[in-house]
Chain A
Amino acid sequence: MTEERKNLVFSSPPDDVDAVHEFLESVWTANPEVSEYDRMAFETALIELASNVIQHASGEGGVTCVLSVTADETGLVASLADTADAGGIVLMNREMPDELSESGRGIALIQALVDDLRYERVDERNVWTISRAREAQAE
């Protein structure tokens, strides 16, 4: 696999997470070596992240995001930079809520599906990075 980096710029409103799904389709088409489970896990984590960013910015009149996804031999990395105010989302060590809870699972799901989840505030942007190592392939 050669390294492949793809970018998407989207603004919500009017864009929504379906734009991220469609963008990932093009990433998977360009990287057919990525296993079905890696795709599924990474896509779920990235959609949870994008949904959180969109949802928390909805009270601020919307948000513009730059999403970059890299696929190479070692794994998958996504970086999402958004224009929302700082501090909207608390990331670390979120427990899965009880089974009848209707919300609060997004960050816990991301933590279960990727190897690393990071947040930085850079040049008045929130920059979120998730990475997942590729599954070991059977020889």
Chain B
Amino acid sequence: MEFTTETIGDDVAVIRGDGRLNMVSAQPLRDTVKRAIDAGRHRIVVELSRVPFMDSSGLGALISCLKSARETGGDLRIVAPSTQVSMVLKLSNVDKILTPYPSIEEASRD
């Protein structure tokens, strides 16, 4: 799975995944988010519209990235999760800390 990073303003990084977020792609996601935070981008937006599937390894990576962003005074928000991703968020009781945003614009606002 490939991740691409775009920047908005001074402190937002938009990270897009294309493929399944599972035990194979969890570490590449962590690495991508770490690079953005190390570059001073503390507000991370993960765009999921092209991620049809996520398992608990992928969810663990998202939560790890959320904690990293918060430790530097930032946040991590997710955009446009698929039905399957939303199901995993809900069953895992994490839909309150990873609340989906409908668009990148809304997720990248203060």
Contacts and interface: CB of A to CB of B under 8 A. Distances in A.
Interface in B73-91: 83-84, 87-88, 91
Interface in B34-68: 53, 55-57, 59-61, 63-64, 67
Interface stretch (B2-10, B19-27, B101-109): B19-27
A100 B63 contact: yes
Given A16-B23, A43-B53, A48-B55, A109 B60 contact: no
Interface residues of B, number: 24
Contact of A96 (B20, B87, B92, B96): B92
B60 A17 contact: no
Contact of A18 (B24, B57, B59, B93): B24
User: 8 shortest A-B CB distances, which residue pairs?
Assistant: A105-B56, A102-B60, A106-B56, A99-B94, A40-B84, A51-B23, A102-B64, A112-B91
